[in-house]
Structure 1
Amino acid sequence: MEKNQVHVFAPATVANIVCGYDVLGFALDEPGDEVVIRRIDPPGVQLKEVTGDDGRLPRDPSKNTVSASVISFLNHIGRADTGVEISLHKHMPIGSGLGSSAASTVAGLFAINALMGHPLSRRELLPFALQGEELACGHGHADNVAPALLGGITLIRGYDPLDVVPIPAPPSLFASVVFPHVDVPTRDARQMIRAKVALKDAVIQWGNIAGLVAGLFAHDYELIGRSMRDVVIEPTRAILIPEFYEMRRLAMDAGALGFGISGSGPSVFAFTQHRDTATRITKTIQEYLTERGIESNGYVSGVNAEGPRELA
């Protein structure tokens, strides 16, 4: 059944989960973005408003990730003559390493699919979300859009063809997330990564990825923690994040299972086995950053199994 207006929330995500560069990610309960799409008489896609972005995002419907993805979706289902008006409300920081563009794009796609009577499944929406990621950051990777769209923890087994595997989250797995207000552009962070990796480092990385996935399936919190080690990407990206190693020390001393960079940063996260531990870690790191003149946002979340959802 088609609707006249749909209001959707889509969640932030943590990509990589330390050792799984471009192949692992999970959805958070908060923060996230909201999109409202409603039918209008003139055919075509209009971007009515964008709030919460301080004017940083494109207003041209062909260049904004949300509206561009909606245009592509409507063309695909043969409804390019449909008139819709989009409002994007950013409630999460841009350039945070928390999948800001993915949350917006997924919210828009989930909303237009609902508006048109759900002609596609969530998995069938993934290619359109990838197009949005490519528009936003020049690389169509799925480690943010897949968990944002499908919920939970996802493994991107391959891209040709796209093969996304859901990974179960242990019931008492929580995340402490802190976004320091420092600038780490995603494109710059990707360009710093080494083009070649030593075989000994690759072997360590493969073992950690396999150990992390095995730990998640087995609900083995100790295995999860000791597998959260990155010898390929983190040593380079950590240079761009002030106080990274001290934040990690504080988190581990406070009971974290493991600690690392969220996506390309500057956000960092820790996995814990209890919500109160995650709350304590978030508070401790934020207080430490404040003492050093660095403002931050802090979040505590379980693994969001639902993904996007319609709002009243």
Structure 2
Amino acid sequence: MESMEKKEYAIDFGNLREQVHVFAPATVANMICGFDVLGFALDYPGDEVKMYRVAEPGVRIRAIHGDDGRLPLDADKNTVSACVKMLLEHLGIADELGVEIELTKHMPIGSGLGSSSASTVAGLFAINSLLGNPLSKEELMPFCVEGERLACGHGHADNVAPALMGGVTLIRGYDPLDIVRLPVPNELYAGVVFPQVDVPTRDARQLIKEKVWLKDAVTQWGNIAGLIAGLYEGDYALIGRSMQDVLIEPTRAILIPEFYEMKRLALEAGALSFGISGSGPSVVAIARGKEAAERAASRIQQHLTDCDIESLKYVSSVNVNGPKILN
């Protein structure tokens, strides 16, 4: 994990919360053209963590709901509890504080919507809140990135950054970690559809070419720059024509049934752009306004139904706040 500056944190054990209930949002990583450097948070779905202070020191998982038994209850193997333990060790209170975690998954695992990052962010936000917020969000971020490394073998921040910070985020660099929050136009909406097919993140990453043509790289750089300019200017037309992916999408689209037909339907329905959310198989139609996003997502879902492919649909504005306390 990226080294954290050691400093003294004032933890008042006599004034800690006894429990906290936190929601952290799903995210759309890459934003189509910004592989591993761009992402934004959704209003829903997301994951919830209830955290309880207990007398016996240590971190334990009390229960996990909504995962169909797929996630480990072992606190050393589950990314939520493992990251909470790292944070307590960093604060020097791992042997003094006892917490139990109850995780509720409201989003599919392996959906391309940042399932692991939402859980990790919820857990770290919860423990920080329970302790009286000794760390800023910026100081929590390296622990979130480590959670992604544990979950999928690659410590990327394009899911955890928007999940924790909210809004649209740019990861300018990883050494050191440098995250920039970008402006969010008021009418920017996402119509997300999750075709219920299995595309593991590790497998999706293995398909990516290690070398690309210079002309394709130049096209992608222009698209990323154009998207960022469009966000600052509130120029929806510029946002739409910039969110094009010539590097990653052509390979990953092979794993997603009916991808190009879904793309055609989304653009025909009025979406500004269309692409893969994270590593897939979820796809996202970016639109100006909720109505256009709903129309695009509904047409995509109906097409999948006609092809006997079950799917889930989410229509959301960009969540500018990130995680929140529910109680």
Fold-level similarity (TM above 0.5): yes
What SS is found at the alignment partner of 1:108?
helix
User: Does the alignment pair 1:5 with 2:19?
Assistant: yes
Q: Would you identify which runs of 4 or more consecutive aligned residues in structure 1 move more than 6 Å?
A: none
Percent pairwise identity: 69
In 1, the alpha carbon distance for the partners of 2:219 and 2:49 equals 41
Query: For 1:166-213, what per-residue CA distance to the aligned partner results, in whole angstroms no more than 9, with x for missing partners?
Result: 010101111100000000000000000001011011000000000001
Equivalence for 1:101:
116
> 1:18: how far off?
0.6
Alignment partner, residue 150 of structure 1: 165
Note if 1:31 corresponds to 2:45: yes
Q: Residue by residue, what CA displacement relative to the aligned partner does 1:16-63 show, whole Å, maximum 9, x if unpaired?
A: 001100000000000000000011111000111111001111111011
1:21 pairs with one of 11, 35, 45: 35
Give 1:207's aligned amino acid: G
Counterpart of 1:72 in structure 2: which amino acid? M
Which amino acid is the alignment partner of residue 2 of structure 1? Answer: L
Counterpart of 2:35, as a letter, is Y
Cα deviation code 1:192-242 (max 9, x no counterpart):
000101101100000000000110111000000000111100000000000
Q: Distance in 2 between matches of 1:300 and 1:6?
A: 28
Q: Distance in 1 between matches of 2:54 and 2:289?
A: 47
Residue 2 of structure 1: how far off its partner (Å): 2.1
1:48 aligned to 44, 62, 73, which one?
A: 62
Give 1:248's match in structure 2, choosing from 247, 250, 263. 263
Name the counterpart of 2:139: 124
1:227 pairs, out of 242, 245, 257, with 242
Give the secondary-structure state (helix, strand or coil) at the position aligned to 2:280. coil
Q: Which residue of structure 2 aligns with residue 72 of structure 1?
A: 86
Q: TM-score, normalised by structure 1?
A: 0.99
1:268 and 2:283 are equivalent in the alignment: yes
The amino acid that maps onto 1:133 is E
- Secondary structure at the counterpart of residue 74 of structure 2: coil
CA distance in 2, matches of 1:92, 1:35: 13
User: Is 1:257 matched up with 2:307?
Assistant: no
- CA–CA separation in structure 2 for the residues paired with 1:238 and 1:284: 19
* Structure 1 residue 274, shift from structure 2 partner: 1.1
Matched with 1:170 is: 185
- What amino acid maps onto 2:46 in structure 1? G
| Other structure's SS at 1:223 match | helix
1:57 to 61, 71, 80: 71
The 5 Å alignment of 1:194-205 reads 194-205=209-220
Structure 2 unaligned blocks of 5 or more: 1-14
SS at match of 2:61: strand
Count how many residue pairs are aligned between Structure 1 and Structure 2.
312
Task: Report the RMSD for the aligned CA atoms in angstroms.
Answer: 0.6
Contiguous gaps of at least 5 residues in structure 1? none
3-state SS in 1 of match to 2:100: strand
* Structure 1 residue 116: Cα displacement: 0.6
Aligned with 2:309 (options 288, 291, 294): 294
Hey, what's the Cα distance between the residues in 1 that align with 2:62 and 2:123?
A: 13
TM-score (norm 2): 0.95
- Return 91-100 or 53-62, whichever deviates more: 53-62
Q: Distance in 2 between matches of 1:110 and 1:15?
A: 20
Q: CA deviation at 1:283?
A: 1.1
Secondary structure of 1:169 counterpart? coil
Q: 1:281: Cα distance to partner? A: 1.1
User: What letter is aligned with 1:63?
Assistant: K
**Partner Cα separation in structure 2 for residue 280 and residue 165 of structure 1:** 32
Aligned-pair CA distance for 1:282: 1.3
1:116-157 CA distance string (max 9 Å, x none): 110100111000001110000000000000000000000000
Give CA deviations for 1:224-267 in whole Å, capped at 9, x if unaligned.
00001111000000000000000000000000000000000000
Q: Give per-residue Cα distances to partners, 1:279-300, cap 9 Å, x unaligned.
A: 1111111111011000000000
